[in-house]
């Protein structure tokens, strides 16, 4: 369900979930992990506490997923509880923790896999290193829902290994992206409201979906999938820092910021109309950052 190329969907789910920003930060850092860093993570592996990654891969589907939420929403509407139905849809996700961990293992760390006798395999060191990071993701995903002791048990190996986690460079337009997201992160309440209003105006002008498709296609063709995914994940953190609620994100604020990030990653490959359609709504609120382009 989740892919690096489809990171805008993952970001949409994470920005509407408590703890989602923590998951996004870990995944962005994972995209910057090198073989040396992975070796340090592997060295921190503790067989007595690591194992949630495997357990989560066979976990029962979560109650907050969209497919389950749709049925519950219909029931709530029939009972006249429209407000509850809307709140449920605002936070329902397309997928969940097992899919996030699969993305981590299979795509973020795709470079750790080799094919032997027609079968894909990872070294034991890679398995251990990814498991340590996976446990940290589990702790972040369930933020506030696990006991402090269990949370510490899950994330301590990662923290021991990486006092300063690596940061990903977001491609040739890193400076512009970093500037834009820094501005979003410190947005005032008035600016957050303005982001929603700008999203509404953008939606009224239409043609957003084709423009986003063009930007995503350019990301794929340019080989900047990891950089674009990193930008989407950093956007989740920026919106959390700005205090954007799940409802505000679902109403259009996420789409506005996500689209601008996608376009900025491939600024050199988009025509001016498409680029402006995706980036201008954000510029309207946080100001210009084209001095970095």
d(CA 260, CA 258): 5
| N-terminal to C-terminal alpha carbon distance within the chain | 33
Mean pLDDT of 87-92: 57
Answer whether residue 54 shows pLDDT above 70.
Answer: no
d(CA 238, CA 244): 9
Answer whether residue 79 shows pLDDT above 50.
Answer: no
Answer whether residue 265 shows pLDDT above 50.
Answer: yes
pLDDT digits (tens, 9 = 90+) for 179-193: 999 999 999 999 999
pLDDT digits (tens, 9 = 90+) for 196-255: 999 888 877 768 889 999 999 999 999 999 999 999 999 999 999 999 999 999 989 999
CA angle 200, 8, 233 (to 5 degrees): 110
- Residue 239: CB partners within 8 Å, gap ≥ 6? 15, 21, 184, 249, 253, 254, 257
Residue 116 confidence (pLDDT) = 86
Whole-model pTM: value is: 0.89
Residue 159 confidence (pLDDT) = 94
Burial call 162-192: b when 16+ CB within 10 Å, e when fewer: beebeebebbebbebbbbbbebbbebeeebb
- Backbone angle region of 80, left / alpha / beta, with phi > 0 → left and psi within -120 to 50 → alpha: left
d(CA 289, CA 287): 7
Neighbours of 32 (CB within 10 A): 15
């Amino acid at each position: 369900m989740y892919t690096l190329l489809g990171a805008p969907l993952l970001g949409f789910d994470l920005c509407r979930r408590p703890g989602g920003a923590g998951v996004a930060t870990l995944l962005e850092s994972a995209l910057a992990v090198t073989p040396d860093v992975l070796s340090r993570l592997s060295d921190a592996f503790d067989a007595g506490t690591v194992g949630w990654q495997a357990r989560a891969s066979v976990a029962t589907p979560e109650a907050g997923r969209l497919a389950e939420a749709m049925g519950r929403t219909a029931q709530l509407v029939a009972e006249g509880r429209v407000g509850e139905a809307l709140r449920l849809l605002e936070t329902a996700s397309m997928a969940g923790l097992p899919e996030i961990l699969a993305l981590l293992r299979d795509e973020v760390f795709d470079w750790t896999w080799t094919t032997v006798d027609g079968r894909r395999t990872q070294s034991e060191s890679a398995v251990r290193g990814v498991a340590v990071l996976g446990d940290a993701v589990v702790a972040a995903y369930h933020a506030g829902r696990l006991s402090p002791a269990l949370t510490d048990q899950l994330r301590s190996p990662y923290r021991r290994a990486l006092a300063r986690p690596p940061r990903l460079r977001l491609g040739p337009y890193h400076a512009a992206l970093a500037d834009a997201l820094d501005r979003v992160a410190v947005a005032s309440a008035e600016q957050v409201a303005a982001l929603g209003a700008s999203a509404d105006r953008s939606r009224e002008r239409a043609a957003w979906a084709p423009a986003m498709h063009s930007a995503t296609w350019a990301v794929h063709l340019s080989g900047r999938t990891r950089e674009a995914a990193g930008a989407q994940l950093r956007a989740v953190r920026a919106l959390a820092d700005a205090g954007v609620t799940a409802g505000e994100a679902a109403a259009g604020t996420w789409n506005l910021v996500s689209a601008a990030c996608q376009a900025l990653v491939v600024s050199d490959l988009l025509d001016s109309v498409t680029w402006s359609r995706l980036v201008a709504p954000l510029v309207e609120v946080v100001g210009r950052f084209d001095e970095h382009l």
